[in-house]
Amino acid sequence: MQPYTPGEQAAPGKTIKLNTNENPYPPPKAVVEAIQHAATGAINRYPDPVATSFRRAAANALGLPGPEWILAGNGSDEILTMLVRGFVGEGQRLRLPYPSYILYRTLADIQGADWEQVAFEDGWQLPAAFGKTENDVRLVFLPNPNSPSGTVVPPAEIEQLASTMTCPLVVDEAYADFAEANCLDLVQKHENILVTRTLSKSYGLAGIRFGFLVAQPQVITELAKIKDSYNCDMISIAAATAAMGSQEWLAEVVAKMNATRSRLSERLATLGFNVTPSQANFVWCQHPSGDHQGMYDFLKKNQILVRYMKFPEWGDGLRISVGTDDQIDACLMMLENYLKKNA
Ligand code: PMP
C-alpha cells in the first residue's frame, strides 16, 4: 500500500512556508477569544458529540436550511475517511480524477477497496465518462477547485455528471472559498451530491483540525452512525463556531489572497512558466526547462518551501501556495535568481 505523505512541516523559524496551502494570516480575533474562553471552561467534561453550536453557525453562514445538513469532523480528512468507510466496502471501488488529491487512493487502500482514476483532459476538463459509473463504483471524489491545478469544473457540469452516476459524488470544496462558484445549492437539489469543506485554508485554522460535510439530512444521519463518539474537541468546536460567525473577516482575507494569487500568476508567467489559471489559494506552474526538482531544491536551500509534485505518466511541476505579498516576492526573486544562473 502506498502511504499518503503529508507536506513537510518546517520547524518554526525563518522558513517561508508555501507548500501546504495554509493561510499566511492569523485567524480572526473572535476565534482566538473563543479558544481562550473555551480553555478556561469545562474541559474536564466531554464535548458536544455532534458540535451543535458549530453546525448552527455553519448552516446560518452558508444559507442552509438547518444544522441537520451538516456533519462536523476532525479536519476534512476525517470526513473523507468516514465517507470511504461508509460507502465503499472491501473489493468495491472508488473513483477519482487524475491528477488530484492522492489521499483518496490511500483511504481506499486502507479500506481494502479498489480505486480507479479518470484522467483530466486538456484544459483540466472532465470527460463524460467520469459520470458513467458501473455498479461496483460506490463513491466518486472530485476536488473542486482541484489540487494541484486550482481549476474548477463548473457546477452545471458537475450536476450533469452526477445525474448519470449510480453512487454519491463527493465534491471536495477544501478551496471553494477562493473560487467563483461552489456546489452548495446542488446539495439541496440532489441526494447524491455531497460537499466537504475545511477550516484549514480560508479560515486560517489548519492547526485546530476542523472540517465538515454538507449533505441531505438522511445522508448525514446515516454517516453519523459511524463517526467516533467525540470526534471534535471542545476547544476546536468553539474556534470553528466563532470562525463561521466571522464572514466579513473571511471576505477580506480571501480578497487579499486572491489579489496576491493574481500577482504571483502574472509574475511566474513573466519568468517563462506555464501557469494554470487558479481559483484556489495556490498556483500550479511548469517551466519549459522541466527543471522543477532543481528549483525546489534551490528554494529549499534558501529556506523557502514549495511543493514539488510528480505524477507518474503525466508530469511534474511546482505548486506554490499563496503567502503574504512579501513571502511571494521572496520566492519569485529566488526563482528568478535560479533561472538566471541556469539559463
Ligand atoms: N481536500 C483537499 C483537496 C486538500 O488539499 C486537503 C488539504 N491537504 C484536504 C482535503 C484536507 O484538509 P483538512 O484535513 O486540513 O481539512
**Enclosing domain of residue 208:** 29-246
Does 166 share its domain with 310? no
**Phi, psi dihedral angles at 317 (to 5 degrees):** 175, -170
Q: State residue 6's pLDDT score.
A: 75
Q: What is the CATH number of the domain that holds 52?
A: 3.40.640.10
141 CA distance to ligand 1 centroid (A)?
Answer: 13
Q: State residue 331's pLDDT score.
A: 98
Show which of 246, 265, 282 is a domain's final residue: 246
Does 103 share its domain with 130? yes
Pocket of ligand 1 (CB under 6 A): 75-77, 101, 143, 147, 172, 174, 198, 200, 206, 211
76 CA distance to ligand 1 centroid (A)?
Answer: 6
Does 207 share its domain with 267? no
Does 53 share its domain with 162? yes
Does 209 share its domain with 150? yes
10 in a structural domain: no
190 in a structural domain: yes
Entry pTM: 0.96
**β-strands 137-143, 93-98: how paired?**
parallel
Residue owning grid cell 471552561: 41
CB 69 within 8 A of CB 215: yes
Mutate to test the pocket of ligand 1, among 82, 83, 103, 105 (most ligand atoms within 8 A of CB): 103
Query: Could you say which DSSP state residue 177 is in?
Result: G
Q: State residue 12's pLDDT score.
A: 62
Measuring from atom 12 of ligand 1, which residue has the nearest CA? 76
5 in a structural domain: no
Atom of ligand 1 nearest to the CA of 206: 15
Burial class (CB in 10 A: 0-12, 13-18, 19+), 214: buried
Q: State residue 11's pLDDT score.
A: 65
263 in a structural domain: yes
- Consecutive H or E run containing 6: none
Does 236 share its domain with 254? no
Show which of 246, 275, 293 is a domain's final residue: 246
Q: State residue 134's pLDDT score.
A: 81
Does 252 share its domain with 225? no
Q: Where are the alpha helices (DSSP H) in 212-279?
A: 217-224, 234-244, 247-270
Burial class (CB in 10 A: 0-12, 13-18, 19+), 306: buried
175 CA distance to ligand 1 centroid (A)?
Answer: 9
Query: Could you say which DSSP state residue 11 is in?
Result: P
6 in a structural domain: no
Measuring from atom 4 of ligand 1, which residue has the nearest CA? 174
Does 211 share its domain with 321? no
Does 225 share its domain with 288? no
Q: What is the CATH number of the domain that holds 268?
A: 3.90.1150.10
159 in a structural domain: yes
**Cα distance between residue 199 and residue 240, in whole Å:** 7
2 in a structural domain: no
CB 47 within 8 A of CB 232: yes
Q: In this prediction, does ipTM exceed 0.90?
A: yes
Helix (H, G, I), strand (E, B) or coil at 304: strand
Does 273 share its domain with 336? yes
Helix (H, G, I), strand (E, B) or coil at 289: coil
1 in a structural domain: no
CB 58 within 8 A of CB 70: yes
Cell of 57: 453557525
**Cα distance between residue 292 and residue 334, in whole Å:** 13
Does 172 share its domain with 254? no
Cell of 33: 477569544
Residue owning grid cell 482541484: 146
- pLDDT tens-digit profile, the chain (343 residues): 777 777 777 766 789 999 999 999 999 999 999 999 999 989 999 999 999 999 999 999 999 999 999 999 999 999 999 999 999 999 999 999 999 999 999 999 999 999 999 999 999 999 999 999 987 999 999 999 999 999 999 999 999 999 999 999 999 999 999 999 999 999 999 999 999 999 999 999 999 999 999 999 999 999 999 999 999 999 999 999 999 999 999 999 999 999 999 999 999 999 999 999 999 999 999 999 999 999 999 999 999 999 999 999 999 999 999 999 999 999 999 999 999 999 8
Does 202 share its domain with 103? yes
Domains in the chain, number: 2
Show which of 212, 246, 280 is a domain's final residue: 246
Which residue type occupies 74? N
